[in-house]
Amino acid sequence: MDADTTQLACPHCLAINRVPDARLGEGPRCGRCHQPLFTGQPVALTAGNAEAFLLRSEQPAVIDAWAGWCGPCRSFAPVFAAACQRLEPQFRFLKLDTEAEPQLAAQFRIQSLPTLIAWQGSREGGHEVARISGALPLPQFMQWLAKAYGLA
Ligand SMILES: [Zn+2]
């Protein structure tokens, strides 16, 4: 039993690392490529890394589905980045560019932009826990996350 470790993907090489929970906040590095497992910045979600982040990582993962032509998406981007800085390493923050990754956007049935998805990874795979459409100010976004993950 590994109740005291968290399995998570490296944003650089996608290796699956197993990190002791007590060391999660100590700037853990990837066992394969030795780069930081958390950089303080959202990671681009792609068809190539979705499995590693969504189905093989045991963390909550927050997805921002956006497009370059979408004004509200651009205004929400700094809010998402600020939440990432506050909530890593407990959460992973992922950006889904719906124009660059249309198949992934279709899998998530993205109908309007931006759409924010709260995802929970687990050893058995992962599942969506909540979603909301439309940009939110930072306090409301943080509240929504806390409620989605049962922390509030
Ligand atoms: Zn790595």
39-94 pLDDT, tens digit per residue, is: 999 999 999 999 999 999 999 999 999 999 999 999 999 999 999 999 999 999 99
Which residues are identified as catalytic? 70, 73
Number of structural domains, the chain? 1
Instruction: Please indicate, yes or no, if residue 6 is contained in any of the structural domains.
Output: no
- Ligand 1 centre to CA of 61 (Å) is 18
- Ligand 1 centre to CA of 49 (Å) is 12
Instruction: Please indicate, yes or no, if residue 94 is contained in any of the structural domains.
Output: yes
Residue 55: which domain range? Answer: 40-148
Instruction: Please indicate, yes or no, if residue 102 is contained in any of the structural domains.
Output: yes
For 49, counting Cβ atoms within 10 Å of its Cβ (0-12 exposed, 13-18 middle, 19+ buried), the class is middle
Instruction: Please indicate, yes or no, if residue 73 is contained in any of the structural domains.
Output: yes
- Ligand 1 centre to CA of 20 (Å) is 16
DSSP letter string over 3-17? Answer: TTEEEEE-TTT--EE
Instruction: Please indicate, yes or no, if residue 27 is contained in any of the structural domains.
Output: no
pLDDT tens-place string over residues 108-146: 999 999 999 999 998 888 999 999 999 999 999 999 999
- Ligand 1 centre to CA of 127 (Å) is 24
Instruction: Please indicate, yes or no, if residue 13 is contained in any of the structural domains.
Output: no
